[in-house]
Amino acid sequence: MGGNGLLFIISGPSGTGKSTLCKELIRCCPEVRFSVSYTTRPPRKDEIAGKDYIFVSSEAFKAMIEQGEFAEWAEVYGHCYGTPRAAIEQALKEGQDLLFDIDCQGTRQLQQCYPQGITIFVLPPSLSELQRRLQGRKTDSSEVMQSRLSKAHREISQAIGYDYIVVNAALADTVSVIQSIVTAEKHRRQYVLEHLSLVKDLLKA
Amino acid sequence: MGGNGLLFIISGPSGTGKSTLCKELIRCCPEVRFSVSYTTRPPRKDEIAGKDYIFVSSEAFKAMIEQGEFAEWAEVYGHCYGTPRAAIEQALKEGQDLLFDIDCQGTRQLQQCYPQGITIFVLPPSLSELQRRLQGRKTDSSEVMQSRLSKAHREISQAIGYDYIVVNAALADTVSVIQSIVTAEKHRRQYVLEHLSLVKDLLKA
């Protein structure tokens, strides 16, 4: 083996079920590791520090920005989220595949550093379903919910810049589609030529 | 729905198990139809006319060449093989996905007409396994076998021109990988934007 790992960037509007989807993907694809973001947002009830996010103070986050430690970062609804560059570099070097759950803004930043990243846009089955899901998230105030919904409308138009588009109607189906994307990407010429010594040997023969 | 079908072109050296693989794929992916080639070669014992090949005389084949009816054709070991353009055009128009089992030469010709074709190169697990498989094919004379083996050596180097490379070690695994490639390709931005009216509606909203 040898060669770089792959970067799978899952993005899409709030309320499409990205977080649940990513958790399930990590459970089903043991070869892919979740890229844990830093955030200044307080943990939600079911979130585990160090696993879902690394929760830090605004001061600590600001210091990391100033040190240029983030490959991407963004402020969303008053909270900061960011992915440290060092973690990505380390994973790539080890041939470790990473899965990112980031917003559209973060995706664009990450693509500037890592144009090889494979971008997957997750869409809700419909706008009314998206609204229902956002309303079901009791942690948000109604202003935040309204703001999320109108942001979601705007973000959906960005799907056209992504490599893949997946409609998340049923979780198990969506997980299966993204597993297929992971498998397919691991059989792309470039990846195979870098990774499989058997193929290198056959081509040299 | 609406939009063009996809063209999956399976290729690779003789003896990698492409025919068996394609048969199994067609069984497992009912949405993909096998593109039946014309050939002047006599049927092998287990081959069904109209399903595996359309068996025609050299004269009939020659007439089709002269009428420009083939999207690709080649002479291999004294027999002609070809894919009629009309069948592909019809399938594309109907949104029907097609699977091709053709050699490297045919793939290059087909790509000239249909650059959107998705090319998958099937490799044997090793050169010794390839030799063993070719020797097991009792229908070939030893000269043909030697010629196939040295052609296989040359063809393996062409893997680098394909979109995907798959090592066919165990049939069920290879089928599953190619099914994943089919699923992934059906979630590529371009395909989704052309085919899913839901996505068109969300993007218009």
Read off the pTM: 0.89
Q: Which of B187, B190, B191, B200 to mutate to test the interface with A (most CBs of A within 10 A)?
A: B187
Would you say residue A205 has pLDDT above 80?
A: no
Nearest by CB to B177, which of A160, A187, A196? A187
User: Residue A1: its pLDDT value, please?
Assistant: 47
A157 sits in the region (left: phi over 0; alpha: psi -120 to 50; else beta) called: alpha
User: Residue A138: its pLDDT value, please?
Assistant: 67
Q: Which chain A residue lies closest to B130 (C-alpha atoms)? A: A202
Sign of CA dihedral A64, A67, A72, A75: positive
B25 Cβ contact list (under 8 Å, min separation 6): B10, B32, B99, B175, B178, B179
User: Residue A96: its pLDDT value, please?
Assistant: 95
A99, A33 in Cβ contact below 8 A? Answer: yes
The fold adopted by the segment(s) B7-204 is Rossmann fold (3.40.50)
**What does DSSP assign to residue B41?**
S
Nearest by CB to A180, which of B184, B189, B193? B184
Would you say residue B195 has pLDDT above 90?
A: no
For the segment B141-145, the average pLDDT, to the nearest whole number, is 79
pLDDT in tens, B55-103: 999 999 999 999 999 999 999 889 999 999 999 999 999 999 999 999 8
Q: Give A-chain residues touching B184 at CB under 8 angstroms.
A: 164, 177, 180-181, 183-185
CATH class for domain A7-35+97-204?
alpha beta
Give A49's pLDDT tier (boundaries 50, 70, 90).
very high
Domain spans, chain A: 7-35+97-204
A193, B160: Cβ pair inside 8 Å? yes
pLDDT in tens, A127-186: 788 788 777 766 677 787 788 788 888 888 888 899 999 999 999 999 999 999 999 999
Give B205's pLDDT tier (boundaries 50, 70, 90).
low
**How far is Cα B69 from Cα B82, in angstroms, rounded to an integer?**
9
A165, B187: Cβ pair inside 8 Å? yes
What ipTM did this prediction achieve? Answer: 0.88
Min Cα distance A36 → chain B (Å) is: 25
Instruction: Supply the mean pLDDT for chain B.
Output: 90
pLDDT in tens, B151-173: 888 888 888 899 999 999 999 99
